[in-house]
Every structure is written in structure tokens, then in C-alpha cells.
Structure 1
Amino acid sequence: MTPSPEDSPPLIGEDDRNTAVQRLQEAYAEGLVSHEELDERLHQVLTATAHSELVSALASLPEENPGTTSTIAAAGGWIQRRGAWRVPRFLKVGSAYGRVRLDLSRAIIEHPVVDIELQLGTGGARITVPRDAVVDVEGLHTGWKDLRYKARRPSRPGAPKVRISGSMGFGRLKIRHAWR
């Protein structure tokens, strides 16, 4: 009898694999695993086809640092980040009436995937991503106005992925790639 799709283990994505590799590298840098153990676990992660294989490769490591979520909120006015600011793994941005400007082009991005959750009322938002970034807007719900984003051609391997989710009321979100 052929197993049904519900019975088969869920496949892992490249984001999950990249996150597991990063956790192993951090554990090695902190002295939690030896060089030989790192090689074995990396091989296990890179050849894994199911999520359970990733879990077993990371089993004895300490839990991931929960301090990688930041929230920026304002009732009105501007919310702006630009220059060499450190981008957290999860960024929540909330504004009832103001405008949001996030420039990630010169920001310090230490994670292969950055999740930005927008909760905006009437204000618009503009996000500038690095030139080679991959942008995913599947989780974003727009109310009044449509999203303005023109996807770039495929980026280089290892380019950061920026996932944008949340909801926007009456404002428009414009996403653009940096020139450099």
C-alpha cells in the first residue's frame, strides 16, 4: 500500500536547513561542540530530508536565544531605521497613524532569514532591502491599497531572505532593492 501524503514526514525547506547550520556554527564558536562533532552534525543537517533529522542533529544544543525579537511601535509620527543598525531575527512594527521607513541596505543582518511583521493603520511604509535579498510577502494582508514591489532576478546563494507579514489598513507598502 502506498503511503498517503498525510503519512509522509514533512519535508524541510532551505530556510530551516540554513537556520540549523547557523545554530551549529554558533555552538562550535561557543565551544559547545568539537570540530569533529561539528563535521558530523553538519553532514547530518545538509543531507536531511525530514524535519525529524534536523531535530536530532540539534538535540543536545541549548535552546535558541529568544532575545532576537524586537518591537517598534508608535501611535503616530515616524518610525525610521537606517544606516548600520542591527536587524533582529524577528521585527514587529506597529503604528496606528504614522509612516514607517526601514532601510536594510546598510544594516547588519546576522540571520539568513529576517521576519518583519507589520501592523499598520492608516500610515504607509517603505522598506529598502539589500540588493541581493529575497523578499517574501505571502503573509501580508493589505486593506485599501495594493503592495508595490517588483521582484528582482534570482539572487546569489546565501543572500538574506526577508519575509514580510502582518496587515496594513489604508496605507501602501513599497518595497525596493538597494542600488548597491
Structure 2
Amino acid sequence: MSVTLEDRPIEQVREQVIDKLIVNYSHGIISAEAFERRLDDAMASESHQELLDLVADLSISTDDEYSSKKDQQFTPNYASKQAEDTLIISCILGNNERSGQWVVPSEIKLNNVLGETTLDFTDAIFQHQDITIKLNCILGSCKIFIPENINVICKTYCAGSSIENCAPSMANRQAPVITIEGKVVLGSLSISVKRTVKEKFIAFANQLKNAFN
């Protein structure tokens, strides 16, 4: 006997509906405008039936190839290769940015004095589940970008400074955890998501559409 619709976890239903929207858009069944409109509705709805109604007229379903591509796109990048256990970044009266595909060590020591530092974990490759950033920011600016499927814990001391943490802290238990420790004196620290889940869904759908075309 199958489980009644209302008794199914709504996030599971939402994920299946979004998957079906993506695969039908990528095959040209619905327009870009319709895809984004229905995607917004799917992400906002808390009704099982409303979610299913969004894809009731769509015939193409997901397959193993789609699931594999989705896992590659949305699962945090892990690698077995080993980098140095500690990365030391010093920025004095200058700019320093670490972005793109880079291997994240278990510990990052970041010293920023009168400088501007950016750590972008959006496309980073993780080899540890627990990462610690030891921050010493004096009269400087530090920006940290993270993907939405990463947990962030901020334990930073602030003196005459601004700290803005817009990152989630309730991602999957198996997701990497970034803990930020240290101090910010007469400076600023911002932690935010560079690309939202909606933006990643749209980018992934367009990537599949281009592949089919």
C-alpha cells in the first residue's frame, strides 16, 4: 500500500517536483518564463497537492543520468587528495582572494591588517568535514562566500567592528562545517551565500538545456 500524499515529507515532494520542472524545461517542453514561475511556486508552496499540480501537465520524468548530473552539481565537492593541513593567508595593506576550485585544508589562518580578503568556497573542493578559520582582522575587511549546503558557525570576537553572518547553519548533517574563530577589530566580516539555491537550479537547468540542444 502506498503512502498517502499528505503523509509524505513535503520536502521530498518538493524536490521531485523541482526535478521534473528542470528536466521538462531542459527538453523544451515549457518556456523559461514558465519554468521560473513554477519554480518560485514550488519553492514557496507548503501544500502537497499544489506542488503536484505544478507538474500535472508535464510528461517527461527524471532518469538515472539526470540524478547523476544533479549529484555532481549539488553535492559538495570532495576529494581524497591531500593538501597541507594548514593554509596561512596574510594580507597587509593589500587585497587577497582565494576562489575557484581550490582544495580546502582543515585549518585556515587568516591575518588581515588594513587589507581586503575574500575566501570563496562556492566551487571549493572539501577533503575534511570540519574546517576551522582562525581569523585576525584589524582595520580590514573579510568576505567569506559559501554554498548553501555548508554549515557555518561563527565564534568571532568583535570590537568596534561589523559582523554580518547570512550563512545557513542547518545544512545536512554530513555537510562540511566551517567554524570561524578569532577577532575583528575596527574592521568588518561578512559571511554570505554567493549563489542561492534558486540560482543554482536555473543554472543547472540551462546547462542541461544547452546539452540537449
Q: Structure 1-normalised TM-score?
A: 0.59
Q: Give the Cα–Cα distance (whole angstroms) in 1 for the partners of residues 121 and 132 of structure 2.
A: 12
Name the count of aligned residue pairs: 116
- 1:45-70 CA-to-partner distances (Å, cap 9, x unmatched) read xxxxxxxxxxxxxxxxxxxx994011
Greater per-residue helix proportion: 2
| Superposition map of 1:163-174 within 5 A | 163-174=179-190
Residues 84, 146 of structure 1: alpha-carbon distance in 2 compared, 3 angstrom cutoff: same
Aligned pair partner of 1:104 in 105, 108, 121: 121
Corresponding residue SS for 2:143: strand
1:72 corresponding residue in structure 2 = 89
| Superposition map of 1:46-125 within 5 A | 67-125=84-142
2:172 matched to 1:156?
Answer: yes
8 Å CA contact 2:116–2:141 kept in 1: the answer is: yes
Q: CA deviation at 1:153?
A: 6.5
- 1:65-104 CA-to-partner distances (Å, cap 9, x unmatched) read 9940111113210111000011110000102110110000
8 Å CA contact 2:153–2:169 kept in 1: the answer is: no
- Letter in structure 1 aligned against 2:174: G
| Superposition map of 1:25-64 within 5 A | none
8 Å CA contact 2:163–2:190 kept in 1: the answer is: yes
Corresponding residue SS for 2:162: coil
Aligned pair partner of 1:176 in 170, 192, 195: 192
Residues 66, 126 of structure 1: alpha-carbon distance in 2 compared, 3 angstrom cutoff: closer
Q: Structure 2-normalised TM-score?
A: 0.51
Corresponding residue SS for 2:171: coil
Q: Give the Cα–Cα distance (whole angstroms) in 2 for the partners of residues 141 and 99 of structure 1.
A: 18
Q: Give the Cα–Cα distance (whole angstroms) in 2 for the partners of residues 119 and 89 of structure 1.
A: 17
- Letter in structure 1 aligned against 2:172: R
| Superposition map of 1:122-137 within 5 A | 122-137=139-154
8 Å CA contact 2:83–2:105 kept in 1: the answer is: no
Residues 132, 66 of structure 1: alpha-carbon distance in 2 compared, 3 angstrom cutoff: closer
- CA-atom RMSD in angstroms: 2.0
Q: Give the Cα–Cα distance (whole angstroms) in 2 for the partners of residues 133 and 66 of structure 1.
A: 20
Q: Give the Cα–Cα distance (whole angstroms) in 2 for the partners of residues 152 and 86 of structure 1.
A: 22
- 1:7-31 CA-to-partner distances (Å, cap 9, x unmatched) read xxxxxxxxxxxxxxxxxxxxxx9xx
Q: Which moved more, 1:118-127 or 1:152-161?
A: 152-161
Residues 122, 84 of structure 1: alpha-carbon distance in 2 compared, 3 angstrom cutoff: same
Residues 141, 156 of structure 1: alpha-carbon distance in 2 compared, 3 angstrom cutoff: same
